[in-house]
Structure 1
């Protein structure tokens, strides 16, 4: 089974947000050395937790520090931008790292609607035009000209476009255009994944570049040397998810602080529900769960997203999964 990485440049309590960006660069080098297939970067705006707001810039920095691993966006929130400008940015990235660029796009705002309108005053209309924007993006990244306009620089390779989503909409669009599809399993704890992947495969229309459907799941996972240690470090994300349901966003808290504070009685069922579905534990435990998931969905690649308050814990988790699951 191939494993890839989705990194979100998560802010850590007690540290500057800029440190999260630099940690992403170091993690990319670390994961390339471990043998991961791809390193993807998310896009969020005006969010005090996930501070990676410009994946295309981070991709350029990672391209300069790596030589093998594929580098991608997961994704560019296309309604904020011009499809031509995105095509130009990713053609430049393809020139920097030939044959290694994934262009993942999504329709969601990656933040609240006020922020979306600040990025693009016509955000609502642009979201409705998402299918045509994807079609334009396909043309400008792969054809010499589209609508009499060329996206430069040209070269022998073109970015590989992926559709990202957590609902049936993205699955059907990817199938219609003959594009690879990534389902955000971590975003929904798997809810809707089976239906979306089945729709994608059933409706898939072969394209020249992708004659067969190609799908993956993005899964949140954390491995440590012992199950107890992994559960302890997972407290940081559990606290964040409980707070998120109340509309409270902030940097990732230290697990020791979360343990000392505890969870309110009303939050315990929420936490228990998360833990029942979590890919958290000792290396063999997590590896077995990931293999079972890949087998159930008939996939040969999963994308792993990991949060931890201590960057060394996160790197250790990726190393353990590389050793036990690949």
Structure 2
């Protein structure tokens, strides 16, 4: 079982989003020392809640300032971009950190429809071309041939090199799962998007549709979970409060910067929002590291996944680093790293 990190560079009340990006650089170096296998960055646009809009740039900065941990995107929202440009970016990243780059590809916009249009006026049509885009990106980044009838088959993607990124398909539906199976690629399900709903269906679809490839002989799956550990249950509850309130009010269509625990406690919530918070708390993976790690182990065993990716959001950089350190110690104790 490999244990990894998804960092969304969460934006926080009273702090510049630019500071959230710099905090990601610090957290990545810490997680490398803790022994995590991968460090993934997400892509979101036009939101006050997430500062990370350009994972390819953060990957470069982190790859250049670490030495062991794999670094990658979870993921690049491919319909926003030309496949060749994405391939060139990841060829450059592979040159910076050969053999340590992950290229996770997703079809979702990571934004609202208007923003998706601003990024690419042909985004709706591009989403329908996602399978061929995935094929093209893999071919250009691995120096594999494109189909004979491809109009751009003679274009060379630079910089050339002996290694290629590790490809993943990411998603929260059966569409991406089936596509990953078709291409014979690893698949990661965004468990935290849906509080786990649909996970079994997506993983089953992936395994049923899997075709062995030159990359994988058998299915290889992961899930991303939101989890937080602290020295005491009370401390975990305190830091969790910020995320809980931010998620509760998304029903209003608002994606706000994460409030401080004190701001969250004073937030004017409706009865339905409080009910939503209470329901989410029942499933929340928060508490002391031994308690939460036991639940995470049980979850991964039940789902039969090969890797676990943890995302943690707090308004305190120190608390976030401490949470990852506590999880690392606990998993290392059981030789799960």
Q: Same fold (TM over 0.5)?
A: yes
Secondary structure of 2:99's counterpart equals coil
- CA deviations on 1:108-152 (whole Å, 9 max, x unpaired) are 111011111111010100001101101111111112553111111
Residue 263 of structure 1 deviates from its aligned partner by 4.0
2:96 aligned residue: 96
Residues 249 and 273 of structure 2 are in contact (CA less than 8 Å); yes or no, is this contact kept in structure 1? no
Residues 48 and 255 of structure 2 are in contact (CA less than 8 Å); yes or no, is this contact kept in structure 1? yes
1:176 aligned residue: 182
Matches within 5 A, 1:292-307: 292-307=298-313
Structure 2 distance, partners of 1:220, 1:299, is 16
1:253 aligned residue: 259
Residue 268 of structure 1 deviates from its aligned partner by 2.4
- CA deviations on 1:53-108 (whole Å, 9 max, x unpaired) are 11000000001110000000001000000101101100110010000000001001
2:335 aligned residue: none
State the TM-score, normalizing by the size of structure 2. 0.95
Secondary structure of 1:245's counterpart equals helix
1:43 aligned residue: 43
- CA deviations on 1:157-198 (whole Å, 9 max, x unpaired) are 101111000000000000001111000000010000001001
Equivalent pairs counted in the alignment come to: 326
| Coordinate RMSD, CA, aligned | 1.1
1:81 aligned residue: 81
Instruction: Return 5+ residue gaps in structure 1 as ranges.
Output: none
Q: Does 1:16 align with 2:16?
A: yes
Q: Does 1:192 align with 2:198?
A: yes
Secondary structure of 1:22's counterpart equals helix
Structure 1 distance, partners of 2:267, 2:123, is 40
- CA deviations on 1:273-292 (whole Å, 9 max, x unpaired) are 11111111111111001100
1:119 aligned residue: 119
Structure 1 distance, partners of 2:160, 2:216, is 21
Instruction: Return 5+ residue gaps in structure 2 as ranges.
Output: 147-152, 333-337
Q: Does 1:312 align with 2:318?
A: yes
Residues 190 and 224 of structure 2 are in contact (CA less than 8 Å); yes or no, is this contact kept in structure 1? yes
Residue 252 of structure 1 deviates from its aligned partner by 0.6
Q: Does 1:282 align with 2:288?
A: yes
- Comparing 241-250 and 55-64, the one that deviates more: 241-250
Residue 272 of structure 1 deviates from its aligned partner by 1.4
Residue 2 of structure 1 deviates from its aligned partner by 2.1
Structure 2 distance, partners of 1:159, 1:6, is 17
**Distance 1:170-1:282 versus aligned 2 partners, 3 A rule:** same
Structure 2 distance, partners of 1:13, 1:272, is 23
Structure 2 distance, partners of 1:9, 1:23, is 8
**Distance 1:274-1:63 versus aligned 2 partners, 3 A rule:** same
Q: Give runs of ≥4 in structure 1 deviating > 4 Å.
A: none
